[in-house]
Chain A
Amino acid sequence: MDSLLIAARAVHFAATISVAGVFAFLCFVIRAEAPVPLARRLRWLAVASLALAALSGAAWLVLLSARISGEGFTAALTRGAAATVLLHTRFGTVWSLRAGLAAALAVLLALPARWRGKGWRWVGLALGAALLGLLGWAGHGGATPGRPGELHLAGDIVHLLAAGAWVGALVPLALALAETGEAEPGGGAAGTGQIRALVWRFSVLAAVSVGFLLAGGIVNTWFLAGTVPALIGTLYGRLLLAKITLFVAMVAFGSVNLLRMSPRLAPAAARDAGPLRAALGHLRRNALVEAVLAALVIGLVATLGILPPGLHSEPGWPLPFRIELALLSPPAVAVLALAAALAATFAVAAAASAAAGHYRRAAIAGSGLALCALVAALVLRPAAQPAYPTSFYAPAEPYAAASVAHGARLYAENCALCHGRDGKGDGPAAASLPRRPADLTAPHLFAHTPGDLFWWVSHGKGGVMPGFAPVMNPADRWDVINFIRARAAGILSRTLGAQVTRAIAPRVPDFAFETGHTQHTLDRLLSHGPVLVVLFTGPPPPARLAQLQALRARFATAGPALLILDLDPGGAAPEAAGMARVEPRAAAILPLFRSPADGGETDLLLDRAGEVRARWTAASAGGPVAASALTVATEQIRELPPAAESHAGHVH
């Protein structure tokens, strides 16, 4: 079923691109009424492409309806799923519009030449471009919400239209070259002049289109693959890389045409019919090779569109190491940037020289490229860190109270024997082991991705630690990891003070709480801005509560929001005083972020990512948080670079 849908999509893309391409060719390359035999062939190409587009479009609709409704192919038609998709979804609306455009194009192509009017090619181009561009609304780009969505959609449409102008005009170009070859068997100055102008105009169209294709493609890649692991670790990303490789090959063939074949059409070189005919043949052959490569690209596009984008799949990391650029010193980064810029220059020079037939120059530029690669590899060496296939997995369980609380139980049962109850690597069995178990409380824990930890918990480490994959399901393993990270985050948070930290900031797990009868979660509260979490272990003194109330009123508009909690399980939180009730699981894990030495109150200032940036306690020298300190700290948080989306517990 999926392969049928992919096939229908591929044929539809190709046919629609071909329809738009014929008109782009007429408007931008021929620029006048085509000679009659060519005009006839182009018209047949447009008619055939349009018919194919209509059929494959209908097949796409039916196959998609079957896939969506989970019914069979015929059931989708007879039981109304196809009709529902057509009438009640956005895809259906787009399809209805496009059917109208296709009908208008059919009428235009059916009109006899004398009824068409002078501007008919431009009307056809507008209709063909709309038919092609509207496909953007049926793809990934049409669904990203908000402003980024508009950018993504615009990128998609630009990409589609540029593909139509270049790829769609390849077959018309081959037809036109064949036509001129037949019409002017002897060459002739006038004929070669026309061919040269034609090839030149096509090259301009192609070059401009490649520029737009690249721009649109980069926008799309950013939105859908976005990261290196997503690009090289997922099926989506790898198909995308294959597509880019094919695209580079297409550009190479196009460059050979432009740089090497078209000069042979020059009047001086074209006195003899033989070389001219050979050059024309090469041009035509290269155009057709480009068209075949383009068909392969379209097949990949058709497949990519039904796969989940790379950003939403677990990337399997294929290398035993990963590069952490942040480990490089600024001079090293500068050298790397220079090497990259030089490499790009050498690559372009090598490709251009090879395309123009200057093989020695190409070899020199190629050596320069290799040298740049060597320098880059040497510079990057210290930034290489060990990595595992799961290194870039996002935790499958959200970093939240429920997961952390469950992970704490599992840790006590499975891990404490060696790593110790408190995670310091000093469990009862530790002394008998050949290697000391890792201290899971050190900040070094955060140098490893959650995916690294997942690999070790699953498959063991160093020949001493056993793998827990046989006894714990993946969700349980993620719960343990969430607990370990929450505990280390809590320990790290105790080193913070009133001074806002710019270094690694420990993240508080998400939890639910209630005010009145309304349930909220920390993550929702954080989506509005920084939050000051005030933890009490027992009923707060009324005087302090009054102070906090005043603080809340003062920061009501500018933020941070105040979340005042009593962690005492028996404590009855006085809601009238603006306190919230937490669920028991959260009350059990929040003490990870406290220390008995704190006294009765611990104040945690969280940035929007939920990371603790500053901390005050009842027992600290300056006492618990006050208005002036909070103003300063909040100001400093705002000046911090916007937190990169935290990896811990971010689940798609």
Chain B
Amino acid sequence: MLGHRLSAAAAAAIAIVLAASTAAAHAFLDHASPAVGSTVPGAPSAVTMWFTQQLEPAFTTATVTDAGGKSVASGAAQVDPKDPTELRVPLKPLPPGTYSVSWHALSVDTHTTEGHFTFAVAGR
């Protein structure tokens, strides 16, 4: 019982020490569709990424490539004018396989960030 209480207290302490305000001074990937690392049953028509901060369209890009490194985008990556935290890459019809997305973002406070993730399309 004491162990429980101690661990609860410890966890609370950690949470307090680490309780970070959610401010983001750089644009980081918040979530994506298809989800980062996930497997989707059907081919998605686009990859959409949501960032923690507003993006500068002029300097924000993303590429989607297949296992062979060939681009599978059907158009350029676009920042949504209505929601500048959203970046969308339209896709060609994807056969089953693993695809990797790399993004390069400039936030409105002039900081660049980049990252990559993969998703998979399952065979039917």
* Chain A residues at the B interface, C-beta cutoff of 8 Å: 64, 67-69, 84-85, 88-91, 138-145, 148-149, 152, 222-224, 226-230, 306, 308-309, 311-312, 322, 324-327, 385, 392, 394, 398, 400, 402-403, 442-444, 446-449, 503-504, 512, 514, 517, 519, 521, 523-524, 581, 583-585, 643-647, 650, 652
Does A227 contact B20, Cβ atoms closer than 8 Å? Answer: yes
Contact B16 A143 (CB under 8 A): no
User: Are B53's CB and A89's CB within 8 A?
Assistant: no
Across the interface, A89 reaches (CB within 8 A) one of B7, B22, B58, B112, namely B58
A90 touches B108 (CB 8 A): yes
Asked if A311 meets B23 with Cβ closer than 8 Å, knowing A84-B58, A645-B18, the reply is: yes
Q: With an 8 A cutoff between CB atoms, is B57 at the interface?
A: yes
Assess A88 versus B11: contact at CB under 8 Å? Given A517-B42, A583-B39, A645-B20: no
Q: B38 → chain A, closest Cβ, in Å? A: 4
Contact yes or no, B25 A444, CB < 8 A: no
Give the residues in chain B near A85, CB-CB below 8 Å.
58-59
In the assembly, what is the distance between CA of A149 and CA of B59, in Å? 22
User: What does the 1/0 interface line of B25-67 toward A look like (CB < 8 Å)?
Assistant: 1101001011111111110100000001110111100000000
6 closest Cβ contacts across the A-B interface?
A324-B13, A143-B109, A326-B13, A644-B15, A512-B38, A402-B37
Write out the residue numbers on chain A whose beta carbons fall within 8 Å of the beta carbon of B9. Answer: 324, 326-327
A448 partner residues in chain B, CB cutoff 8 A: 10
Please indicate the chain B residues that have their CB under 8 angstroms from the CB of A145 in the complex. Answer: 24, 52-54, 85
Cβ A89 vs Cβ B110 within 8 A: yes
Q: Nearest chain A CB to B9's CB is how many angstroms away?
A: 4
A504 / chain B contacts, CB cutoff of 8 Å: 4, 7-8, 11-12
Contact B8 A503 (CB under 8 A): yes
Nearest opposing residue in chain B for A405, CB measure: B37
The chain A residue with its CB closest to the CB of B38 is A512
Q: How far is the CB of A403 from chain B (nearest CB, A)?
A: 8
Q: What 0/1 pattern do residues 80 to 123 of B give for CB contact below 8 A with A?
A: 00000100000000000000000000111111100000000000
Given contacts A143-B108, A152-B23, A645-B18, 13 further A-B pairs with CB under 8 A are: A88-B56, A89-B56, A89-B58, A90-B56, A142-B108, A148-B22, A223-B23, A309-B25, A311-B21, A448-B10, A449-B18, A524-B31, A645-B15
**Pairwise interchain contact B10-A446, C-beta atoms closer than 8 A:** yes
Q: Is the CB of A447 within 8 A of B17?
A: no
* A223 partner, pick from B4, B21, B36, B56, beta carbons under 8 A: B21
In the complex, what residue of chain B is closest to A60 when comparing beta carbons? B110
B12: which A residues are within 8 A, CB to CB?
326, 504, 644
CB pair A400 B17 closer than 8 Å:
no
Nearest-Cβ distance from residue B45 to partner chain A, whole angstroms = 11
CB < 8 Å neighbour of B57 from A88, A394, A646: A88
11 residue pairs of the A-B complex, CB under 8 angstroms, read A85-B59, A138-B110, A142-B109, A143-B53, A144-B23, A223-B23, A325-B16, A443-B7, A523-B31, A643-B15, A647-B18
Q: How many A-B residue pairs have CB under 8 A?
A: 183
Bound-complex Cα distance A139 to B111 (A): 9
CB contacts (< 8 Å) of A88 on chain B: these are: 56-58
Is B3 an interface position by the 8 A CB rule?
yes
Please measure, in the bound complex, the distance between the C-alpha atom of A643 and the C-alpha atom of B44, giving whole angstroms: 35
Query: Chain A's nearest CB lies how many Å from the CB of B44?
Result: 8
**Chain B residues closer than 8 Å to A69, beta-carbon distance:** 59
Determine if B6 and A447 form an interchain contact, defined as CB atoms under 8 angstroms apart.
yes
A519 to B15, CA, bound (A): 31
Q: How far is the CA of A398 from the CA of B42 in the complex (A)?
A: 24
Q: Are A446 and B21 in contact (CB under 8 A)?
A: no
The interface residues of chain A lying within 8 Å CB-to-CB of B53 are: 143-145
B16 nearest CB across to chain A (Å): 6
Chain B residue contacts of A223, Cβ below 8 A = 21, 23, 25
Complexed CA–CA distance, A618 and B14 (Å): 35
Q: Does B5 contact A (CB under 8 A)?
A: yes
Assess the B16–A91 pair: CB atoms within 8 A.
no
In the assembled complex, how far is the CB of residue A408 from the closest CB belonging to chain B, in whole angstroms? 15
- With CB as the reference atom, state the residue of chain B lying closest to A641: B12
Interface centre among A91, A324, A394, A402 (most CB of B within 10 A): A324
B15 closest partner in A (C-beta): A644
Closest chain-B Cβ to A188's Cβ sits at a distance in Å of 54
Cβ A584 vs Cβ B11 within 8 A? no
With A and B bound together, what is the CA distance between A224 and B28 in angstroms?
15
* Cα A87 to Cα B86 with chains together (Å): 21
Please state if B18 and A392 are interface contacts (CB–CB under 8 Å): yes
A87 (CB) vs chain B CBs: closest residue? B58
* Contact of A584 with B4 in the complex, beta carbons under 8 Å: no
Contact B37 A148 (CB under 8 A): no
CA distance in complex: A402, B118 (Å): 11
Q: Are B15 and A646 in contact (CB under 8 A)?
A: yes
A382: min CB distance to chain B, Å: 12
Per the bound structure, the CA–CA distance linking A650 and B42 in Å amounts to: 29
Q: How far is the CA of A646 from the CA of B15 in the complex (A)?
A: 6
B residues in contact with A67, CB < 8 Å? 112
Shortest distance between the CB of B119 and any CB in chain A (Å) = 9
CB distance from B33 to the nearest CB of A (A): 6
A141 to B38, alpha carbons, bound, how many Å? 34
> Bound state CA distance, A524 and B48, in angstroms?
14
Given the known A-B contacts A88-B56, A142-B108, A326-B12, are A583 and B38 also in contact in the complex, defined by CB atoms under 8 Å?
yes
Q: State in angstroms the CA–CA spacing of A120 and B64 once bound together.
A: 58
* Bound-state Cα–Cα, A400 to B36, Å: 10
B15 partner residues in chain A, CB cutoff 8 A:
643-647
- Contact assessment for A519 and B11 in the assembled complex, using a CB-CB cutoff below 8 Å: no
Contact indicator B23/A148 (Cβ below 8 Å): yes
Expressed in whole angstroms, the Cα–Cα distance for A46 and B109 within the complex equals 28
Q: For A392, give its contact among B8, B10, B17, B85 (CB under 8 Å).
A: B17
Query: Nearest chain A CB to B120's CB is how many angstroms away?
Result: 9
Q: Are B59 and A89 in contact (CB under 8 A)?
A: yes
CA distance A444 to B7 in the complex (A): 6
